[in-house]
Amino acid sequence: MSAAGYCYDNTTAESFFATLKAEAFPPGAVFASKIEARRAIFDYLETFYNRRRRHSSLAYQSPEAVLKKHFQNHPTHLN
Protein backbone atom coordinates (compact mmCIF):
# COMPACT_ATOMS: atom_id res chain seq x y z
CA MET A 1 0.00 0.00 0.00
CA SER A 2 1.21 3.47 -0.72
CA ALA A 3 0.93 6.44 1.59
CA ALA A 4 -2.13 8.65 1.73
CA GLY A 5 -2.39 10.90 -1.29
CA TYR A 6 -0.59 8.52 -3.63
CA CYS A 7 -2.70 6.58 -6.11
CA TYR A 8 -0.21 3.89 -7.17
CA ASP A 9 -2.27 1.01 -5.78
CA ASN A 10 -5.45 2.31 -7.40
CA THR A 11 -4.17 2.71 -10.96
CA THR A 12 -5.51 -0.61 -12.23
CA ALA A 13 -8.98 -0.01 -10.83
CA GLU A 14 -9.04 3.59 -12.01
CA SER A 15 -7.97 2.54 -15.50
CA PHE A 16 -10.71 -0.11 -15.65
CA PHE A 17 -13.44 2.29 -14.50
CA ALA A 18 -12.29 4.95 -16.97
CA THR A 19 -12.52 2.36 -19.75
CA LEU A 20 -15.94 1.22 -18.53
CA LYS A 21 -17.28 4.77 -18.50
CA ALA A 22 -15.86 5.61 -21.92
CA GLU A 23 -16.90 2.43 -23.72
CA ALA A 24 -20.07 1.23 -21.99
CA PHE A 25 -22.09 4.39 -21.53
CA PRO A 26 -23.07 7.08 -24.01
CA PRO A 27 -22.18 10.63 -22.94
CA GLY A 28 -24.70 11.93 -20.43
CA ALA A 29 -26.28 8.51 -19.88
CA VAL A 30 -28.91 8.40 -17.15
CA PHE A 31 -30.47 5.15 -16.02
CA ALA A 32 -34.04 4.87 -14.79
CA SER A 33 -33.05 2.47 -12.01
CA LYS A 34 -30.15 0.60 -10.43
CA ILE A 35 -31.37 -2.57 -12.14
CA GLU A 36 -31.09 -0.93 -15.55
CA ALA A 37 -27.56 0.27 -14.75
CA ARG A 38 -26.53 -3.17 -13.50
CA ARG A 39 -27.86 -4.78 -16.67
CA ALA A 40 -25.92 -2.33 -18.85
CA ILE A 41 -22.70 -3.02 -16.93
CA PHE A 42 -23.27 -6.80 -16.98
CA ASP A 43 -23.98 -6.72 -20.70
CA TYR A 44 -20.81 -4.73 -21.39
CA LEU A 45 -18.61 -6.98 -19.25
CA GLU A 46 -19.97 -10.34 -20.34
CA THR A 47 -20.60 -9.72 -24.04
CA PHE A 48 -17.83 -7.32 -24.98
CA TYR A 49 -15.09 -6.70 -22.40
CA ASN A 50 -14.45 -10.32 -21.42
CA ARG A 51 -15.03 -11.83 -24.87
CA ARG A 52 -14.21 -9.52 -27.77
CA ARG A 53 -12.28 -6.50 -26.48
CA ARG A 54 -8.55 -6.69 -27.17
CA HIS A 55 -6.38 -6.37 -24.08
CA SER A 56 -2.84 -5.03 -24.13
CA SER A 57 -1.84 -7.50 -21.41
CA LEU A 58 -2.84 -10.36 -23.77
CA ALA A 59 -0.75 -9.13 -26.72
CA TYR A 60 -3.80 -7.28 -28.08
CA GLN A 61 -5.92 -10.41 -28.33
CA SER A 62 -9.36 -10.94 -26.87
CA PRO A 63 -9.62 -13.13 -23.77
CA GLU A 64 -11.82 -15.53 -25.73
CA ALA A 65 -9.16 -15.90 -28.46
CA VAL A 66 -6.46 -16.53 -25.84
CA LEU A 67 -8.56 -19.24 -24.19
CA LYS A 68 -9.32 -20.92 -27.52
CA LYS A 69 -5.64 -20.93 -28.42
CA HIS A 70 -4.68 -22.28 -25.00
CA PHE A 71 -7.15 -25.16 -25.11
CA GLN A 72 -6.19 -26.04 -28.69
CA ASN A 73 -2.57 -26.43 -27.55
CA HIS A 74 -3.41 -28.02 -24.19
CA PRO A 75 -6.39 -30.36 -24.54
CA THR A 76 -8.27 -31.06 -21.35
CA HIS A 77 -8.46 -34.62 -20.08
CA LEU A 78 -11.63 -35.56 -18.30
CA ASN A 79 -11.62 -38.78 -16.29
DSSP 38-68: HHHHHHHIIIIITTTS-BGGGTSB-HHHHHH
79 residues of the chain, pLDDT tens digit each: 556 666 666 777 888 888 888 888 888 888 899 999 899 899 988 888 777 778 787 888 888 888 888 888 877 776 6
Per DSSP, 79 falls in state: -
Domain ranges of the chain: 8-73
pLDDT at 72: 84
pLDDT at 68: 86
Residues contacting 23, CB < 8 A, separation 6+: 44, 48, 49, 53
